Structures are given as structure tokens and as C-alpha cells.
Amino acid sequence: MMKVKDKEFTLFISAEELGERIAHIAKDISKDYEGKKPLVLGVLNGAFMFISDLMKEVDIPLQLSFIKISSYQAMNSTGKVKELIGVSEEIKGREVIVVEDIVDTGVSMTHLLESISEKEPASISVVSLLLKPEALKKPVTVDYIGFEIPDKFVVGYGLDYDGFGRNLKEIYQLK
């Protein structure tokens, strides 16, 4: 049991399970992008912990930068996406890898992929730690998925409930 603000959560994915899955994804990325020097774009705030742990395990040369978007207010997706920090790197001709914490409705990712595509990268792939297939409203292809989870609110390991819970080592699900 874990209390975050006014809500109760139960343990859903342990730190150990996260670590194992992340090492596996990192191996796949290292293999798929060998010799390609990709530009990794991590999506703040939610993916900060995932990006950090994932990138430590990827063992090919790459560049890493961050973008920031926001679409959530407390527990509901607003359906509108605000770009708070844009991409400052040259995207044109690059192999871009977008790293997200979770693809829920897919609205944020769709918006992000559109704005990156306009800058003519050589390729774009998407890594998301979590995917809620039942919540998808936009067709988004996630190339590397950590865990497919039911359409229930989760916190921890970067994900927040109204700004809280990001620092938890594990992922918790709303009780």
C-alpha cells in the first residue's frame, strides 16, 4: 500500500522487474541501431527515470536530448498537448528515438511524432515503458514496449499523480 496525495495505490511493477525489462529493451536498441549514432529524445517529465536507466544500458554511440510536453491535469488527459520545451537539435537526416514513460490515449505521441516528422528525420522509432492498449484513441506504433498494462491509473518511477509520486522506485496502480 502506498499513499500518494489523497489516493491509495498498490505495488504493480517492482524495481527488479523494471530493471530486467529495461536491460532487455536496451539490448534490442543497441543491436538495432549499431553503427547509426541515433538522436534520443527523452520526453519530460514522466520519462526521466526510465530514460536514465535505459540509457545507462545502451552501449552504442548516441546523442541524448530532452523535450517537454504536457497534456495531463491530475488524472485526466486534457486531449490538448502543450509543447513546453521544443527540440533544439538538428533533426534532419537523423535516426530519432523518442523515449516516453507511457502511451495512454496516444494524443501526446501523435502530436510529437507529427512535429518531429516535419523536420525530416531519416527515421523515427518510439520507446515507451508502458502502454495502455485499451485507452488508445489514436493509432500509435510503439516499437519498443516495456509493459502493456490495463487502463488503470499508475504512479511511480517518473509517473506522477498531480505532481507527486515521481520519485518512487516502483510502479503503483490505483487501488
Positions marked catalytic: 104
Cell of 76: 485526466
* Helix, coil or strand: residue 6: coil
Least distance (Å) between residue 63 CB and Mg ion: 21
Dihedral sign for Cα 76, 152, 124, 137, please: negative
- Measured CA to CA, the distance from residue 87 to residue 61 in angstroms comes to 20
* Cβ nearer to ligand IMP, comparing 25 with 159: 159
Binding residue for Mg ion, selected from 38, 42, 46, 165, defined by CB under 5 A: 46
Q: Restricting to residues 93-122, name those near ligand IMP by CB under 6 A.
A: 100-109
**Residue 171 contacts ligand IMP per CB under 6 A:** no
* Cβ nearer to ligand IMP, comparing 30 with 153: 153
* Cβ nearer to Mg ion, comparing 32 with 162: 162
**Residue 158 contacts Mg ion per CB under 5 A:** no
**5, HSE (Cβ side, Cα atoms, 13 Å):** 13
Residue whose C-beta lies closest to Mg ion: 46
- Measured CA to CA, the distance from residue 18 to residue 21 in angstroms comes to 5
Cell of 140: 500509435
Binding residue for ligand IMP, selected from 66, 72, 147, 164, defined by CB under 6 A: 72
Stretch that binds ligand IMP, among 23-31, 54-62, 116-124, 150-158 (CB under 6 A): 150-158
> Residue 54 touches which of Mg ion, ligand IMP, none (CB < 5 to 8 A by kind)?
none
C-alpha dist (Å) from residue 21 to 2, 75, 89: 23, 26, 29
